[in-house]
Amino acid sequence: MPRAAIVGGGLAGFVAFLTLRRSGVEDVTVFAPEADPAAAWRRRAAAIRQTHMRSESDGHCLPTSFPGLAVRDARARRSLAPLARSVCNRYPPTVDDFLAHVEEQRAASGWDDQLVPRRIESVRAVDGGFELDDQGVFEHVLLATGHPGLAVPDELRNDARAVHSYEPHEYAESVCVVGAGLAAATEWRNALDAGARVISVRRREPLRRPLNVPRPYLSRRGLASFHRATSDHRVATLREVLAPSYPAGREWDAPLGSGRFSVEARVNGADQVICATGFTPGYEADPLLRKLVAEHGLETADRWIVLAPDSTVPGVTDASRTLAVAGVAGQWAYPAADTLIGARYAAHGFVSRCRTR
Does the pLDDT at position 329 exceed 70? yes
Instruction: Specify the range with the lowest mean pLDDT, choosing from 72-81, 102-111, 208-217, 344-353.
Output: 72-81
CA distance 218 to 338: 12
Most confident of the following: 23-27, 57-61, 196-200:
196-200
Q: What CA dihedral angle connects 72, 111, 99 and 183, to 10 degrees?
A: -130
Does the pLDDT at position 110 exceed 70? yes
pLDDT digits (tens, 9 = 90+) for 230-255: 999 999 999 999 999 999 988 899 88
Q: pTM here?
A: 0.92
- Residue 83 has what pLDDT? 60
- Residue 1 has what pLDDT? 42
Q: Which of 343, 312, 350, 315 is nearest to 327 (CA)?
A: 343
Average pLDDT over residues 316-342: 96
68-73 contacts at long range (C-beta below 8 A, 24 or more positions apart)? 69/93, 69/97, 69/98, 69/101, 72/97, 72/101, 73/97
pLDDT digits (tens, 9 = 90+) for 149-173: 999 999 999 999 999 999 999 999 9
- Residue 67 has what pLDDT? 74
pLDDT digits (tens, 9 = 90+) for 181-195: 999 999 999 999 999
pLDDT digits (tens, 9 = 90+) for 19-46: 999 998 889 999 999 999 999 999 999 9
| Mean pLDDT, all residues of the chain | 92
3-class SS of residue 182: helix
Q: Which of 302, 204, 273 is nearest to 245 (CA)?
A: 204
Neighbour order of strands in the sheet with 123-126: 123-126, 129-132, 137-138
